[in-house]
Amino acid sequence: MRSRVLTAAFAAAILCASRGPALAQGESLAALLARAPRLGLEGKVAALTAPIEIGGAGWGAFRRLCVARMVVRPDGGETPESEKSCVTVAGATREGATWRLTMRTGPIRGGPSLEFSTSRDAGGIVGPVAVEIPAGQPAPPPEKLERLRGVLRLLVAVHGLPRMTVTPGVPFAMTLPLGDVGADLKVDGGGFACRPEGTARRNGRAVLVAACSARGREELAEGWTATVDMAGRFAIDVETGMVLQHNYASHTFMPADPKGSMKEMRMRGVSRQTLD
């Protein structure tokens, strides 16, 4: 049996929703969307009336990516699910159509901060990750290092879209390759079904506002699977395709362990992400 219900990558990466059927174990997607926090936009959202090109620039003047996950208590208040997770951009240099990025995490589970490098090109493709082992720290075993590289690459990749054209009223997909970091992690349909709502501005940048939906699953043991449904809105930078902000509500359901070790568990949550 796993020692956690949902891994950090699983919980952090899943995005959002607009409409859908009632969930078998809890809130409908419409209810999740209704309780998702509002986006911090400048002015009103203008309806999308013509196709819009998203992406084309690999990076922008971004310096900090943060995600905060909260548990919603029965009284409606919020309690941190974990410490706020932030990645600082220590360096960003452009080489033709590709940006070379150096990033630094905060302390990971009480351990040291990590510095890693990767790239993002004009098509929105994130390259391999190289991890700098802190001085005085032993290098992790090869399999753990490979998993760490996958998690860090996913951290950058899931907060952006590949270059694409978005058409009014036409759904688009946001892929989420969770299988790259855990064979037991899956998202129905391979990602998120998103619907464009319009355009706005955030921090002076043009953004596409979209509502998307996804259900993630993690197999805890044979015949025992946890699910998480999430719904909210995303502000996607038009120039780069990076998500400048997401705010979504979540509902996690873990059925009782068939072997009787744990009772059924349900949890409501909220996730807030910013890229500034």
pLDDT digits (tens, 9 = 90+) for 22-36: 344 568 889 999 999
Inside any domain, residue 175: yes
Which domain covers residue 25, as residue numbers? 8-82+160-275
Q: Give the tokens for residue 96.
A: 């033709």
Whether 249 contacts 51, CB under 8 Å: no
Phi and psi at residue 35, in whole multiples of 5°? -95, 0
Per-residue pLDDT, 10 = 38
Per DSSP, what are the bridge partners of residue 164?
54
Half-sphere exposure of 188 (CA within 13 A, CB side): 12
Q: Give the tokens for residue 193.
A: 């079904």
Coil/strand/helix, residue 72: strand
Number of domains comprising the chain: 1
What is each CA distance from 224 to 91, 217, 238, 242, 262, in whole angstroms?
43, 10, 41, 35, 11
DSSP of 184-222, one letter per residue? TEEEGGGEEEEEEEEEEEETTEEEEEEEEEEEEEEEEET
Q: Following CA atoms 40, 41, 47, 52 in sequence, which dihedral angle do they give, to the nearest 10 degrees?
A: -100
Q: Give the tokens for residue 204.
A: 């002076």
Inside any domain, residue 257: yes
Q: What is the DSSP letter of 242?
A: B
DSSP of 117-175, one letter per residue? EEEEETT--B---EEEPPTTPPPPPHHHHHHHHHHHHHHHHTTB--SEEE-TT--EEEE
What is the average pLDDT value for the chain, to the nearest integer? 85
Q: Give the tokens for residue 18.
A: 């607009």
Tens of pLDDT, residues 90-123: 999 999 999 999 999 987 666 778 899 999 999 9
Inside any domain, residue 94: no
Tens of pLDDT, residues 193-231: 899 999 999 999 999 999 988 888 888 888 888 888 988
Inside any domain, residue 141: no
Whole-prediction pTM? 0.86
Residue 249, pLDDT above cutoff 60: yes
Taking Cα atoms as reference points, which of 119, 157, 155 lies closest to residue 241?
Answer: 157
Inside any domain, residue 111: no
Find the length of the chain. 276
- The span from the CA of 203 to the CA of 32, in Å, is 26
Inside any domain, residue 92: no
Q: What is the DSSP letter of 37?
A: P
Inside any domain, residue 93: no
Residue 257, pLDDT above cutoff 90: no
Question: Which residue's structure tokens are 């926090």?
Answer: 37
Inside any domain, residue 50: yes
